[in-house]
Amino acid sequence: MSALPPGVLREASIDVGAITHNTRHIAAAVGVPIIAVVKADAYGHGAVRTARAALAGGAQMLGVTDLGEAFELRDAGIDAPILSWLHAPGTDFRAGLAQDITIGVSSLEQLRAVAAARVAERPASVHLKFETGLSRNGIAPADRSAVLAETARFVASGDIVLDGVFSHLSNTTDIDDLAALARFEDAVAETSAAGLHPRWRHMAATGAALTLPATRLDAVRIGIGLHGLSPLEGRSSADLGLRPSMTVRGQIAAVRQVPAGTGVSYGYRYRTDHATTLALVPLGYADGVPRAASGRGPVRIGDTMHAVAGTIAMDQFVVDVGDAPVAVGDEVVLFGDPDRGDPTAEDWAAAADTINYEIVTRIGSRVPRREVHS
């Protein structure tokens, strides 16, 4: 009955066909090119496989946070354009430029460091990032004219090509996001006035891309949507035409019959109130199963939903399955595709008071990823 091979305690299967489908589906819905955001090991799904699957679905560029993530993609032989936007102070950009990484620039210092690092005859490709309300990185309005003037000089000298300008939204309300868009449009106008005409203007991530058409501009940066998960409160994957790509499962490692009044797991935070069957699931917080979901996180065994009983430990948790006929080796699905009856990453997010992004991204390195092709 287990979908897992003998000897395998746990796995996260990644349906790369779903990633390709989701990319195509979003591209068709938004009508502009997709920058596939594969930072943080593609939210736990595997950066290289996700990048390949998204490119197969028509993505035109890849986005990562830092240069190390960009190098992983190049080392795997991926030659698509890659944009990287968060840099340690004092970063030497030579290695990044040598590998043809486009640099997201958020300050005058970074702009100068990138120009100084440009490789031989090839100008450095830059996207300027403007601060428009999120209060993270990005060029502040007060610094904008100086950065644009310096950019124009570096473009004239052949040190830089200004390939794009971008910003990032707060997803607070549509009104807030449209106000940020208006600030971005001001920055774009100032860019043009400086004689700079970048090919790409981009602002929206998955949420705004799907709900605020005005933010789509020349491209949208899609992360969570690649994986078939919804960033929108009250709208499911299926509502958006998306298919969750990650399924986390384990196989029951032990089964015991216990009498009423049996304490379960650390602190005995659960006690059986009748004679029952306990099943041991070999995943814990070391694997990214949030301890905050103790006593609540849902699992599917066969056709039946159960909840975690008591405290989630580092390596394992217990499920009270009542009189369900379970056996060692039976498959336990933590989350996956609700179309198959699985609990969802959103269910676990609700149980742990967090968001689906955090649930998938924290699935740990001890959980082997297995690629499946639907």
Ligand X SMILES: *Cc1c(COP(=O)(O)O)cnc(C)c1O
Q: Which of 43, 266, 268, 270 is catalytic?
A: 266
Give, as ranges, the residues between 184 and 213 that touch ligand X (CB under 6 A).
Answer: 205-207
Least spacing, CB of residue 315 vs ligand X, in Å: 29
For ligand X, the binding residue among 223, 228, 250, 343 (CB under 6 A) is: 223
Question: Which of 366, 345, 369, 368 has the alpha carbon at shortest distance from 357?
Answer: 345
Q: Say if strands 317-322 and 304-309 run parallel, antiparallel, or are unpaired.
A: antiparallel
Angle made by CA atoms 228, 234, 236, in degrees to the nearest 5: 25
Residue from 96, 225, 290, 297 in contact with ligand X (CB under 6 A): 225
298 sits near ligand X (criterion: CB under 6 A): no
Q: Check binding of 144 to ligand X (CB under 6 A).
A: no
Tell me: does residue 37 bind ligand X (CB under 6 A). yes
Binder to ligand X among 221, 243, 249, 306 (CB under 6 A)?
Answer: 221
Closest distance of CB 169 from ligand X, Å: 9
* Sign of the alpha-carbon torsion through 273, 275, 277, 280: positive
For ligand X, give the closer residue by CB, 164 or 231: 231
Q: Check: CB of residue 276 under 8 Å from CB of residue 323.
A: yes
CB 260 within 8 A of CB 275: yes
How far apart are alpha carbons 110 and 92 in whole angstroms? 10
Q: How far is the CB of 313 from ligand X (least distance, A)?
A: 30
Residue 10 or 45 with smaller CB distance to ligand X: 45
**CB 57 within 8 Å of CB 19:** yes
Q: Which residue number, 49 or 221, has a Cβ lying nearer to ligand X?
A: 221
**165 vs 264, which CB is nearer to ligand X?**
165
Exposure string of 165-192, with b = 16+ CB inside 10 Å and e = fewer, is: bbbbbebeeeeebeebbeebeebbebbe
Q: Which is nearer to ligand X, 221 or 306 (CB)?
A: 221
**Contact pattern for ligand X over residues 162 through 181, marking x by CB under 6 A:** ------x-------------
Look at the block and give the residue holding tokens 């440009």. 118
Task: Output the CA–CA distances (angstroms, integers) from residue 65 to 80, 181, 374, in the order listed.
Answer: 16, 22, 29
- What is the pattern of x (binds ligand X, CB under 6 A) and - over residues 232-271? ----------------------------------------
Spacing of C-alpha 184 from chain mean position: 24
The type of residue at 164 is G
Structure tokens at 298: 């849902």
129 is catalytic: no
Whole-number minimum distance, CB 221 to ligand X, in Å?
4
Q: How far is the CB of 244 from ligand X (least distance, A)?
A: 14
Backbone phi and psi for residue 30, each to the nearest 5 degrees, phi listed first: -95, -25
Total binding residues toward ligand X, as defined by CB under 6 A: 12
Residues 176 and 208 sit within 8 Å (Cβ to Cβ):
no
Nearer to ligand X, 169 or 332 (CB): 169
Assign 3-state DSSP to the chain and report helix, strand, coil percentages, each to 5: 35, 25, 40
Among the listed residues 39, 129, 270, 357, the single catalytic one is 39
| CB-nearer residue toward ligand X: 210 or 367 | 210
Torsion sign over Cα 117, 123, 125, 127? positive
Residue 222 found at the interface with ligand X (CB under 6 A):
yes
Q: By Cβ distance, which residue is nearest to ligand X? A: 223
Minimum distance between the CB of residue 259 and ligand X, rounded to whole angstroms?
Answer: 48
Instruction: Between 228 and 298, name the residue whose CB sits nearer to ligand X.
Output: 228
332 contacts 319 by C-beta, under 8 angstroms = yes
Output the smallest distance, CB 43 to ligand X, in A.
7
Using the rule CB under 6 A, is 124 a contact of ligand X? no
Q: Is 224 in the site for ligand X (CB under 6 A)?
A: yes
Cα 313 → chain centroid: 25
Residues recorded for the chain: 374
70 binds ligand X (CB under 6 A): no
Residues near ligand X (CB under 6 A) are 37, 39, 168, 205-207, 221-225, 231
Q: Looking at the annotation, which residues are catalytic? A: 39, 266
